[in-house]
Structure 1
Amino acid sequence: MTASGPGEPTESARQLARWALAAAAGAVVALLTALTSGILILLTGIVGLVASAMGIWWFLAHRGPVRVFGAILAVGAPLAVLVLYVVGGVWGNALVALGLWGVALGCARTALRRPDRERNALMRGAPAARPRRPVLIMNPKSGGGKVGRFGLVARAEALGARVVLLDLSAETDVTALARKAVADGADLLGVAGGDGTQALVAAVAAEHDLPFLVISAGTRNHFAMDLGLDRTDPATCLDALTDGEELRVDLGSVAGRPFVNTVSFGVYADVVQRPEYRDAKAGTAVDVLPDLLQGGEGGRRLDATVDTVRLPAQQALLVSNNPYAAPDPFGIASAHRPRLDRGELGVIGIRVDGAAQAAELAVRGTQAAGLNVLTARKVHVVGNPGSSVDGGLISVAVDGEALTLPTPVVCTLRPGALRVLVPRDRPGTVPPLPPLDWRRITTLAFDTPDTPRTP
């Protein structure tokens, strides 16, 4: 095997690229083994996807018979495609083609990975001194009682931290607690709780240029996930107190309020405002979505200016503290932000006005006209004049917390404002997948160490 220099593709990468092309070609052959079968698989698959997307739209955006029809179509279209495959005797071809395409994608992604670039794609920590007077604010009910279940109080106190437990019998001003801890001489602030609480204390830490410790004791722990922390065992986050390193990350601001993850406007924010949402999330959403998605009575639309780009009449808008690696509006709950120090807001805007646009979004994904994926330094959001946003107030969900704010609502970012203390061992640190570029795969497959390269 010929050795490759720094940054040069390895022989294994070239081989994986060849396998990717071979598997992709095999998938095409499996579809076209019999011309009629191949056309049947392709056409019915596309028609089934389009019909299912249209059914989902009718189910979400309408009531009565149209909603029932939409539900039947959303479920029945994929089943009908499966039946056609079986009756037509092409299910074997479809399975083989799907399997080979999966192999092709896996080999292509792996072939394009570059360890040198992946290292640069992740945040780097700097050595940090051990804090002498750390103060940790803990919510005993967060995450279903993770503070007690993992013995976080005893472990933190054994490491020299002072623990402040939130009193859930009355409303507690978390920001005031953090400021008092600083006044009493704390040299580190930390939180075991949800992302909304994390953001409030993080703002105080940033204001006083103190290190901030994230303990993954919330329900979803998006911020902890993107920092690479272990979300299955919050106690491991406390290792940062004795053997930690410091990251400089950005801190978001919406109308002067801090956020560490996302700010949602539009449909989602309107749904979580409902008092019944906490007890019946799915039922509440299904009940109110027709009014929110339609542009008529009850419909709420938003106009946004993303730096200098205008996004009119958006149904939903998501602004994130740094962009997500895979900007899928339906998969943000599990998506990652590989870096929190790029100094950019991520913006995803959605406008779907009917079943046809819903189908386009399902087929074309991020290339659909109804989906805008941008980055920005500043985002202005106001109510659309043709919608029912009244009194200059709009619903906003900040790190999952429901708020109502006067317009215009301005989102900005404070680059490097937050010093985050993390353990040296962060099992959740995952490099982002490289973008899939079949032209690059083809070049790599036919590349040899002796092939002249264009500078």
Structure 2
Amino acid sequence: MESKSWGAVVAPVAGAVALSRVYTGVHYPSDVLVGAALGVGAAFAVRGLVPTRGQLPPAGRPHTRAPRLPAGKGLVVVVNRSSGPGNGPLGGLGGLASAAADDATAPLRDALPQARIVECAPGDVASALEEAAAGGCRALGVLGGDGTVNLAASTAVRHGLPLAVFPGGTLNHFAYDLGLETVRDTCRAVASGEAVRVDLGRFAPGPDGAREGHFVNTFSLGVYPEMVRIRERWSPRVGGWPAGVLAALRTLRGRHPLEAEIAGRRRPLWLLFAGNGSYQRLGPTPGRRHDLADGLLDVRVVHGGRLPGVRLLAAALSGPVSRSPFHAAGRLRSLRLSGLAPGTLLAYDGEIAQAPSDLTVDKLSEALVVYRPSMTAPPL
């Protein structure tokens, strides 16, 4: 149901196993038929409870036009060579990150041979994007994770350029929510000039004394920035996913006290989350945005107190988190925070920085033009 190619491989094997059970006399034919019915029913039940991305419409509106670049002429794509699955537990053995980047750029080079591709290390991504945008390109492209996309989105808005996002990171939340599952999806949009306008989240003051910072996915205070910091410390040793599990276990055990003044009232917080657009449930937890231009922040707060992480986990296991008394949620156009203690960390699109004592979180409505193919456009 999810992959025709894998289905073509697995279905004959499953059928052979079913026939062998009857042939060897281990089971009656009715046993095999009932077992097959249970398996198929379980698959449909899971799809009903936890709809996959393929069942949901891609998030993007309103539609707009961007420069049509059939062979990629005028497009500059900045590639973060450290993004993607190469950053796993074997990332330091054999240059898997570079191999992953090469695999991702191969279809890009084939479909858009006249595009200029700039490959660089993580520390050089910002300068490469700025140089490309200032160099007179017609569209700015980026291949990397959400942190890299964040830099590209800010640069594209600042220079008034459309952005081509090529999925090349570990998670690719922004690209997937737009319906960009593969590099070829973006190539098809660039060739046809199909695009959508999306909101860009903003917080001010920004990191490192900047006037403002931006986020394409999420902004958060409290436990999540701490979890990101722990994950980054351990991921070079054990890999991204194991480091994420370790970080989650560490943060769930602690209290991580945080206090902030919200709407004139000082509150103890364990986590404050603001999403760029309203997140919809994908199973028991928020997982996907249906509209990236709704003008709203999806704000969720987990109150502080005794063992807040354990309480939140228990609430998630027992049903939707939104029903928990320790959790509050709302859709806002802006959020004002003040009274943050020195040294408080904030996170935006997986990056962490020192938070100012006072800040405002809001959105730049429909500020970013992103290439996204029409659902009726023919494949390349």
What interval of TM-score do these two structures reach, taking the shorter chain for normalisation?
0.5 to 0.7
Structure 1 residue 321: deviation in Å?
0.6
2:362 pairs with 1:408:
no
- Structure number having the greater strand percentage: 2
How many Å separate the matches in 2 of 1:166 and 1:210?
21
Structure 1 residue 242: deviation in Å?
1.0
How many Å separate the matches in 2 of 1:311 and 1:133?
51
How many Å separate the matches in 1 of 2:376 and 2:337?
36
**Equivalent residue, structure 2, for 1:248:** 197
- Higher mean C-alpha deviation, range 318-327 or range 412-421: 318-327
**Pairwise CA RMSD:** 3.4
How many Å separate the matches in 2 of 1:351 and 1:121?
30
CA separation of 1:277 and 1:323: change in aligned 2, threshold 3 A: farther
Out of 97, 110, 119, the residue aligned to residue 165 of structure 1 is 119
SS of residue matched to 1:181: helix
Structure 1 residue 273: deviation in Å?
1.9
SS of residue matched to 1:186: coil
Structure 1 residue 290: deviation in Å?
2.9
How many Å separate the matches in 2 of 1:106 and 1:281?
28
Q: How much identity, in percent, do the aligned residues show?
A: 28
Structure 1 residue 240: deviation in Å?
1.6
**Equivalent residue, structure 2, for 1:136:** 77
Structure 1 residue 304: deviation in Å?
5.2
Q: How high is the TM-score relative to the length of structure 1?
A: 0.58
One-letter code aligned to 2:245: A
How many Å separate the matches in 1 of 2:174 and 2:330?
21
**Equivalent residue, structure 2, for 1:176:** 127
How many Å separate the matches in 2 of 1:363 and 1:383?
34
Q: How many residues align?
A: 296
2:379 pairs with 1:423:
no
Q: How high is the TM-score relative to the length of structure 2?
A: 0.68
How many Å separate the matches in 1 of 2:278 and 2:265?
19
Does the Cα contact within 8 Å between 2:268 and 2:305 map onto a contact in 1? Answer: no
Per-residue CA deviations over 1:152-196 (Å, capped at 9, x if unaligned) read 4523651x211111135xx31x33322222222111001000111
CA separation of 1:364 and 1:287: change in aligned 2, threshold 3 A: closer
| Aligned positions of 1:31-430 closer than 5 A | 123-131=61-69, 132-143=73-84, 144=86, 145=97, 146-150=100-104, 151-152=106-107, 154-155=109-110, 157-158=112-113, 160-167=114-121, 171-172=123-124, 174-230=125-181, 233-254=182-203, 255=206, 256-274=212-230, 276-278=233-235, 279=237, 280-287=243-250, 289-291=252-254, 293=255, 299-303=256-260, 305=262, 308=263, 312-326=267-281, 331-332=285-286, 335-351=287-303, 353-354=305-306, 358=312, 359=314, 362=318, 365-382=321-338, 389=341, 392-425=342-375
SS of residue matched to 2:221: strand
Q: Give the structure with higher Rg (CA).
A: 1
Does the Cα contact within 8 Å between 2:67 and 2:139 map onto a contact in 1? Answer: no
How many Å separate the matches in 1 of 2:270 and 2:173?
24
Does the Cα contact within 8 Å between 2:258 and 2:270 map onto a contact in 1? Answer: yes
- Could you list the runs of 5+ residues in structure 2 that have no partner in the other structure? 1-37, 87-96, 207-211, 238-242
CA separation of 1:288 and 1:316: change in aligned 2, threshold 3 A: closer
One-letter code aligned to 2:193: G
SS of residue matched to 1:147: helix
- Could you list the runs of 5+ residues in structure 1 that have no partner in the other structure? 1-95, 110-117, 294-298, 428-455
SS of residue matched to 2:365: strand
How many Å separate the matches in 1 of 2:277 and 2:116?
32
Does the Cα contact within 8 Å between 1:304 and 1:310 map onto a contact in 2? Answer: yes
One-letter code aligned to 1:237: T
One-letter code aligned to 1:351: H
Structure 1 residue 360: deviation in Å?
5.6
CA separation of 1:363 and 1:247: change in aligned 2, threshold 3 A: closer
Structure 1 residue 338: deviation in Å?
0.3
Does the Cα contact within 8 Å between 1:157 and 1:163 map onto a contact in 2? Answer: no
**Equivalent residue, structure 2, for 1:445:** none
How many Å separate the matches in 2 of 1:290 and 1:127?
49
Structure 1 residue 229: deviation in Å?
1.0
How many Å separate the matches in 2 of 1:226 and 1:268?
21
**Equivalent residue, structure 1, for 2:20:** none
**Equivalent residue, structure 2, for 1:35:** none
Does the Cα contact within 8 Å between 2:59 and 2:289 map onto a contact in 1? Answer: no
